[in-house]
Every structure is written in C-alpha cells, then in structure tokens.
Amino acid sequence: MTETTAPFFLSGADDHLLGNLFMLLDAVAVLNPGVEIKVCDFGFSPPVRRFLEEIGVLLSKPAFLQGHDHPWYAKAAMGDFLPPAEMAARGFVWIDADIIPLRPFAADLADLAAEMRVDGQSAALCPDDVGCSLSSFIDQWRNRDRDIEPFAKQIKDFGVDPDSNYLNTGFLICTDANLAHAWRDLVLKQHVWLLFEQNSFNTLAHSAPNKIRQLDTSEWNAHGALLDDAVADGTGKTRFVHATSAGDRHVDGELDLGVNGKSRKMNLKLFLREDLRRRQLAHLDRFMTGHAGLLTECGVLT
C-alpha cells in the first residue's frame, strides 16, 4: 500500500465535541507521526474554523448541505468532504471525535483497506457493544417510546434481515464511493429522528451483507461494557476506545478549560475509568498547551 493509495483518515464535529476532537488530534500525532487526519466541518463557529484551517486539518462543509444543519446529515456525507477522484481511489477511515487510539494504527488500517478492495468489500465496521440485532434494537427503543418507526419501515422496504447485527458507525472503513454516496442520499431525504444516520447505514450495509466486513468491536471500537477489558497503555487487544455507552462507562458535561490565563467552556465526554480518563486528559492538555498561542489568536480561547 503506497501513500497515494492509503485511505484518508477523517473525523468531524462541531463545537460541542471540540475538546474530544483535540484529544483525538493529539493522539494521532503522538502515535502516528506524519499521519494526517482531516476534520470535517459539521458546523464549527468562526474562531474554531479559523484555528482548524490554520493547523491544516479542516475540510469545508459541502454546499449541498446548506439547510441541513444537524451534524448527522454531514456525517452521512463524509465522503463528499473529499475530492471525488481521491475518494474513489483511496476511500477513507472514519474515527468519531470522541474516540482515541491506544497504539499506532495507520499501517494496519492501510493493509486492511487494501485487503477489502481485493475481496470486493465496500465497508468495515463493528457491531454495537450490546450485540443486539436490528429487531431487538428497534424493540428497545419502542419500549422507550422513541422515534424508531422510520427504521422499522426502512429495513422492511430494503428487504433487510431483521436478525442482522446492529452496527456502530463510530469507526468505519469505506472503500466504495457508491456506498458513501448512497448513504448520503438516503439520509438527506429524511427528517431528524433517532440515530437516523447510523440506522440508515445499517439498512444499506445489510442490504448487501457480502460487501460488508464486520470487525471485532473489542479491538476496533471498544465502547460500553467492552471498555472494561481495554488496556489503557495500548499493550492489549484494544486499538481504539470510544467514549460512548448505553451504561455508566462515561460522563458528559461542561468544563472551563484554560491555558496561560485564557479559557473556554468545553463539553467533554470522559471515561469513568480513571486510567482511560487520564489518557484523554493528557492528550487534551498537550494539544491545548502546544497550540495555546494560536488558540488565543484565533479567538478559541479568550
């Protein structure tokens, strides 16, 4: 796998996940020197947008997303943040902003993407940590009286097996521009409902299951109960840890963060496990300290 055919590494966010995004950017820089991860603009404020442009990571929001302000519309269009020819030739690896890697990953992911192309596979991702089927996922949210009926109709309309694994799009390898564009088009037709972009990807993935590679969640996207077995220093099986869970594995709240007398209130998703949380905060501190001057100059810190 050459540098020109290796997949792009992408993440994306708006100001709400800025602190976690800083953790991810630092973790990538520390663990994979020279590897670039680009950030899709899901609706950043002007100061944050300027800062990300200055450090050379920002990908501008495509014009066709105007009027579709919810960040999940942008997430489903992640392939459109890349030049079409580059998307077709290289594909991408998507890493949610609230994920951090625990060890180097770029070479292994380039090899995995190359394998997928040889095998004719369009995407690779992990089942959700709770290991539920599509039908049980729908039943869980029906019991909570949430807006899940569009998903039930969608999988029926597409002829999807309801016993298929429910997949998590927090970590996603995509080698097929057609799949990326189909996801975009399906999501753009919809109103905002419960996890509509992730649910729609599940529908598309399971409508052609032979094109999808299901990865080991505990290795590639450890979240929820699977975080319990992650080794924080990266020496274990787990490569990526994801600060999201249906249970009590993370907290989400606003903190006032500052450097050199300048500060900003940031929402943070933090692991409850102390060793994983320390790792997150070390990445955040290193990133903000290292970029303190530019963060202040751009108005991110005031």
State the alpha helices, DSSP H only, in 1-105: 18-31, 46-54, 71-76, 84-90
Helix (H, G, I), strand (E, B) or coil at 290: helix
DSSP string computed for 118-159: HTT--EEEEE-TT--BHHHHHHHHHHTT-S-HHHHHHHHHTT
Amino acid at 137: F
- Residue showing tokens 């799009």: 169
How many CA atoms are closer than 13 Å to the CA of 146, on its beta-carbon side? 15
> Average pLDDT over the chain, rounded to whole?
97
What's the DSSP call for residue 222?
B
Res. 245 pLDDT band, cuts 50 70 90: confident
Q: Is the pLDDT of residue 1 over 70?
A: no
Q: Is the pLDDT of residue 246 over 80?
A: no
Summarised one tens digit per residue, pLDDT across range 289-298 is: 999 999 999 9
Res. 130 pLDDT band, cuts 50 70 90: confident
Mean pLDDT of 162-175: 98
* Strand bridging mode 58-59 / 92-95: unpaired
**What domains are defined for the chain?**
8-128+166-297 (3.90.550.10)
pTM more than 0.85? yes
Task: Tokens for 236, please give them.
Answer: 């274990």
Give pLDDT, residue 3.
Answer: 57
How many CA atoms are closer than 13 Å to the CA of 130, on its beta-carbon side? 11
Give pLDDT, residue 2.
Answer: 56
Give pLDDT, residue 97.
Answer: 99
117 φ/ψ angles, rounded to the nearest 5 degrees: -65, -45
Give pLDDT, residue 4.
Answer: 65
Helix (H, G, I), strand (E, B) or coil at 276: helix
Give yes or no for a contact between 284 and 25, defined as CB atoms under 8 angstroms apart.
Answer: no
- Report the share of the chain in percent with pLDDT over 90: 95
Mean pLDDT of 7-19: 98
Give pLDDT, residue 247.
Answer: 75
Summarised one tens digit per residue, pLDDT across range 50-62 is: 999 999 999 999 9
Nearest C-alpha neighbor of 175 from the set 213, 216, 206: 213
